[in-house]
Structure 1
Amino acid sequence: MKKLLLSALAIGALAFASCSDDDEPPIAEVVATCNDGIKNQGETEIDCGGPNCQPCTEATATCEDGIQNGDETGVDIGGSCAEIITVSGELTADTRWTADNIYVLAGKVVVGVGKTLTIDPGTIIKGKAGSGSLASALIVQRGSKIMAVGTPEKPIIFTAEEDNIGVGQTAGTNLDETARGKWGGLIVLGRATGSFKNDVTEVQIEGIPADDIFGLYGPGDALNDDDNSGELEYISIRHGGALIGEGNEINGLTLGSVGRGTKINHIEVVGNVDDGVEFFGGTVDASNLLVWAQGDDALDIDQAYSGTIDNALVVSGEASDHAFEIDGPEGSITGSFTLQNTTIVGSATAADGEYADYRSNAMGTTKNIYAIGFQAGKDVELDANDVAQNFLDGELTFEAWQVVGFNNSIFSEKVLKDEADNDLETTIILAPTFTERAADWTTQVTAGDQTVGADISVFSWTYAFAKTGLSF
């Protein structure tokens, strides 16, 4: 009887529960209202989007509300908020360029004597296309200064007007390292020592027409090896090298008689038609230089440059020539460079793509060099008897070269030739030859086992690192 009673109670409870569930009204689904100021079900933003409401429209850049909206690349900067400022001629007052604008160089822009151009971190400067007298360039003439100090997060970028890079960005999307000659370059001039033909005291810089007097460099009547042209730090220079005349292009960074009071550190040059960085005389030191895919030589030394280049990386491209091209004094003044702690990467496809060329009375020291990726048959050469004699006299020296895939056979002595390729000299480094002596400073290594070369970690801020990873 007790069991029957419990069963009846259980059946009754189930029946009651079933009836209660059936009697509750269904929960209503929240429907997009499209006009109540609330993001309801199905709406992708407040009162818009989804299957029921009108499409959402992109917020408009307000440029002054403290919010990043519309096409702004940062809070109230970039996109339609960025002002594009065209600059031309001489800067006749101290000038500051800021990162919330884009500055376009129209022709030659020259910092006036006694004036300073300050460029804030993250600022983008674009050069207009043009050649000859219309080639665009920024020129820091003798007696003026540039204070362009970027940061790893906010480098200062010089590029072509064609580059679609915008404010707050570190790279555009429409140009790569093979895009060259889209504008000119950056030129800094000073009054430090240079060795010039006929012992003149000043000359016109390469890449600037002879009638532009702001292109003069050298001491003139005011020699100053401690000359201070300002500071360049965390600078990326891209897509330059505009032609101004037959065989005369502007380098990525040109330094003419720049003094040791100037600071040059963390510089990148990408895709320049001519040389990456060229030193015409001067005493300035430069460190942490990167040149990628230049059309001629990466690091070029001339006219008795007597500073130190430390921690450099050269990554050759299909159009590149030498990693190093070294010339010596042209007049009676002599000077000796130091090039050290450098990694040079060859190209598998470059028609030229040599390691280095020492020419025209070159004097100095090249040491702690790591070379990888060069084709068979490429060399490090002494071009003529004058530079070979400097080697014999101890005025041109080599130390600690480590080369992947090759040994001291890459070092060769050559002689001057005439236009018909006939020898005008005979070699003078004999018993042992220059190639044989190179065994004293050359070691063949396996990639990854090198103990010399550049510290590549310092280039992690660069465009080249972002594109390639720089794993050598």
Structure 2
Amino acid sequence: MKKLLLSALAIGALAFSSCNEDDEPPVAEVVATCNDGIQNQGETGVDCGGPNCQPCTEATATCNDGIQNGDETGVDVGGSCAEIITVSGEISTDTTWSANNIYLLAGKVVVGVDKTLTIEPGTIIKGKPGSGSLASALIVQRGSKLIAKGTAEKPIIFTAEADNIAIGQTAGTNLDEGDRGLWGGLIVLGRASGSFKGDVTEVQIEGIPADDTFGLYGPGDALNDDDNSGELQYISIRHGGALIGEGNEINGLTLGSVGRGTLIDNIEVVGNVDDGIEFFGGTVNATNLFVWAQGDDALDIDQAYSGTIDNAVVVSGEASDHAFEIDGPEGSLEGSFTLQNTTIFGSATAADGEYADYRSNAMGTTKNIYAVGFQAGKDVELDANDVAQNYLDGKLKFEAWQVVGFDHSIFAEKVKKDDDGNEVESTIILTPTFTERAADWTTQVEAGAQTVGADLSAFAWTYANAKASLGF
């Protein structure tokens, strides 16, 4: 009996040595048996109840208390014990999402009326894949608030479930800007003014089925241009734009009638199927916006948006369309936007890849724009007669564009005529084909010699800057 006991102790000592020996440890250390409920110092895996130490990357939850206990399924990355929390439906009480957890959006998650969702700096929110009614999105409906204030060091990250980013990280390794449509997006709605067809006072936001009343935006019976939907700062939104219907995708960030009482600052959208950021009416001001590799338009303005967009960057990708798409009022209410201090990088490979398209009675001012890298033949379009007239009347203004690669004399107004000789379309064009009317708001510059455009240093924190080595 004693001989058997001594043999067992010898075997146990040998097993312990294979997991802890410091001097030239055997290969067995990597797959050491550690299902005894105790994480020994020399073990390289975690105790998940199996025959071997399991790799940390295979865990589904994170335990950051420095000790891997026998009943934990996560990994030790240094903090409090955390998990992946799946969220769906309505958030019916004031709620805080902690940076110690990952939150998984399963379908549409809606912040309830008079309720506030607070998201801590550094929090990661992932969206499950799905389309149509199953598309995942976070929706801040009218009367609710989102307080999501990240920092440059700890941005709040919205991304796809497939992204292998982990708690404490700002980027995963398995996705890039070409991975689009893997979940929905972020939608914020308010009661500020908007100009809608038929002069109705509220409409349904695109990306949300018509029978979901939480998708309504516009003043309704409670107009408030100072409406406050919360604070959004240092937020990165990646790999979104899930399809909900034919030709109808969710934008990276959608703002519907959001009021000027809302903070929109330092927002990044990467690899979205549809637009990067779209403003449907509203009066909110937005600063430090960054859009990279969107599938349609980077910055889109509709329905008499009347705020100011200041300091923005667009980096076009191979699937991108316009850097700017600007529409005007749809009803009798007029509004005037300001888009200023913006740098737009064109794509050498995009099939479309235009500078901008001004449509549907667009009204406002676009100024201090620096453009570089666009292909020859790409243009700034005024693609309807009412837009051309607004340009001639001064309701649509362009000031101080500096462009690399084109002489300012070839920015010209091209007037199209129908078979009867009537003017039907006016386009400001960036090719030498038409020189009838030179655009005096453009100047040719050498790359690096520009005096207008965005302050790029504001975007050093972004995923795009790190991933694409932009050097901001």
Confirm or deny a common fold (TM above 0.5).
yes
Name the structure 1 match of 2:77: 74
Distance 2:99 2:288 in 1: 24
Assess if the C-alpha contact under 8 Å between 2:381 and 2:427 holds in 1. Answer: no
Distance 1:242 1:435 in 2: 42
Distance 1:428 1:345 in 2: 24
Assess if the C-alpha contact under 8 Å between 1:379 and 1:411 holds in 2. Answer: no
Q: Indicate how the Cα distance of structure 1 residues 154 and 424 shifts in structure 2: closer, same or farther if over 3 A, else same.
A: farther
Distance 1:384 1:145 in 2: 38
Distance 2:76 2:135 in 1: 30
Q: Which 10-residue stretch deviates more, 434-443 or 366-375?
A: 434-443
Name the structure 1 match of 2:105: 105
Q: Indicate how the Cα distance of structure 1 residues 45 and 445 shifts in structure 2: closer, same or farther if over 3 A, else same.
A: farther
Query: Can you list the C-alpha shifts for 1:314-344, whole angstroms capped at 9, x where unaligned?
Result: 0000000000000000000000000000000
- Name the amino acid aligned to 1:327: D
Distance 1:434 1:387 in 2: 19
What displacement does 1:48 show? Answer: 3.8
Query: Can you list the C-alpha shifts for 1:434-453, whole angstroms capped at 9, x where unaligned?
Result: 96555311011110101100
Q: Indicate how the Cα distance of structure 1 residues 368 and 358 shifts in structure 2: closer, same or farther if over 3 A, else same.
A: same
Q: Indicate how the Cα distance of structure 1 residues 53 and 402 shifts in structure 2: closer, same or farther if over 3 A, else same.
A: closer
Alignment of 1:57 with 2:43, yes or no, is yes
Alignment of 1:450 with 2:450, yes or no, is yes
Name the structure 2 match of 1:232: 232
Pairing 1:348-427 to 2, within 5 Å after superposition: 348-408=348-408, 409-413=410-414, 425-426=423-424
Distance 2:255 2:427 in 1: 33
- Name the amino acid aligned to 2:21: D
Assess if the C-alpha contact under 8 Å between 2:327 and 2:362 holds in 1. Answer: yes
Distance 1:47 1:429 in 2: 75
Assess if the C-alpha contact under 8 Å between 1:235 and 1:266 holds in 2. Answer: yes
Q: Indicate how the Cα distance of structure 1 residues 427 and 87 shifts in structure 2: closer, same or farther if over 3 A, else same.
A: closer
What displacement does 1:74 show? Answer: 3.4
Name the structure 1 match of 2:275: 275
What percent of counterpart residues are identical? 77
| One of 21, 46, 58 as aligned partner of 1:47 | 21
Query: Can you list the C-alpha shifts for 1:334-363, whole angstroms capped at 9, x where unaligned?
Result: 000000000000000000000000000000
Assess if the C-alpha contact under 8 Å between 2:64 and 2:77 holds in 1. Answer: no
Pairing 1:15-164 to 2, within 5 Å after superposition: 47-50=21-24, 55=29, 56-58=42-44, 60=46, 63=63, 65-66=65-66, 72=75, 74-76=77-79, 81-164=81-164
Distance 1:245 1:429 in 2: 32
Pairing 1:201-280 to 2, within 5 Å after superposition: 201-280=201-280
Assess if the C-alpha contact under 8 Å between 1:165 and 1:173 holds in 2. Answer: yes
- Name the amino acid aligned to 1:398: F
Alignment of 1:181 with 2:181, yes or no, is yes
What displacement does 1:58 show? Answer: 1.0
SS of the equivalent of 1:287 reads strand
- Name the amino acid aligned to 1:470: L
- Name the amino acid aligned to 2:204: Q
- Name the amino acid aligned to 1:367: K
Distance 2:158 2:190 in 1: 21
What displacement does 1:63 show? Answer: 3.6
What displacement does 1:65 show? Answer: 4.3
Distance 2:111 2:438 in 1: 46
Assess if the C-alpha contact under 8 Å between 2:383 and 2:425 holds in 1. Answer: no
Distance 1:250 1:263 in 2: 21
Name the structure 1 match of 2:51: none
Assess if the C-alpha contact under 8 Å between 1:377 and 1:410 holds in 2. Answer: no
SS of the equivalent of 1:233 reads strand
Q: Indicate how the Cα distance of structure 1 residues 116 and 383 shifts in structure 2: closer, same or farther if over 3 A, else same.
A: same
Q: Indicate how the Cα distance of structure 1 residues 123 and 443 shifts in structure 2: closer, same or farther if over 3 A, else same.
A: same
What displacement does 1:468 show? Answer: 1.7
SS of the equivalent of 2:329 reads coil
What displacement does 1:160 show? Answer: 0.5
Alignment of 1:324 with 2:324, yes or no, is yes
SS of the equivalent of 2:44 reads coil
- Name the amino acid aligned to 2:77: G
Q: Indicate how the Cα distance of structure 1 residues 92 and 413 shifts in structure 2: closer, same or farther if over 3 A, else same.
A: farther
What displacement does 1:75 show? Answer: 1.2
Which consecutive residues of structure 1, in runs of 5 or more, have no partner in the other structure? 1-33, 37-42
Q: Which 10-residue stretch deviates more, 114-123 or 63-72?
A: 63-72
Distance 1:416 1:240 in 2: 40
Q: Indicate how the Cα distance of structure 1 residues 357 and 434 shifts in structure 2: closer, same or farther if over 3 A, else same.
A: farther
Distance 2:164 2:154 in 1: 17
What displacement does 1:406 show? Answer: 0.9
TM-score in terms of structure 1 length: 0.84
The alignment yields a C-alpha RMSD, in angstroms, of 2.8
Distance 2:426 2:92 in 1: 55
Distance 1:159 1:366 in 2: 31
Distance 1:204 1:416 in 2: 36
- Name the amino acid aligned to 2:192: A
TM-score in terms of structure 2 length: 0.84
Distance 1:44 1:180 in 2: 46
- Name the amino acid aligned to 2:344: I
Q: Indicate how the Cα distance of structure 1 residues 434 and 349 shifts in structure 2: closer, same or farther if over 3 A, else same.
A: closer
What displacement does 1:76 show? Answer: 3.1
Q: Indicate how the Cα distance of structure 1 residues 53 and 385 shifts in structure 2: closer, same or farther if over 3 A, else same.
A: closer
Distance 2:465 2:426 in 1: 43
Aligned length: 426
- Name the amino acid aligned to 1:402: Q
Distance 1:73 1:340 in 2: 46
Query: Can you list the C-alpha shifts for 1:5-62, whole angstroms capped at 9, x where unaligned?
Result: xxxxxxxxxxxxxxxxxxxxxxxxxxxxx989xxxxxx99963450679634216489
- Name the amino acid aligned to 2:24: G
Q: Indicate how the Cα distance of structure 1 residues 356 and 422 shifts in structure 2: closer, same or farther if over 3 A, else same.
A: farther
Assess if the C-alpha contact under 8 Å between 1:190 and 1:258 holds in 2. Answer: yes
Assess if the C-alpha contact under 8 Å between 2:311 and 2:341 holds in 1. Answer: yes
Distance 1:274 1:260 in 2: 25
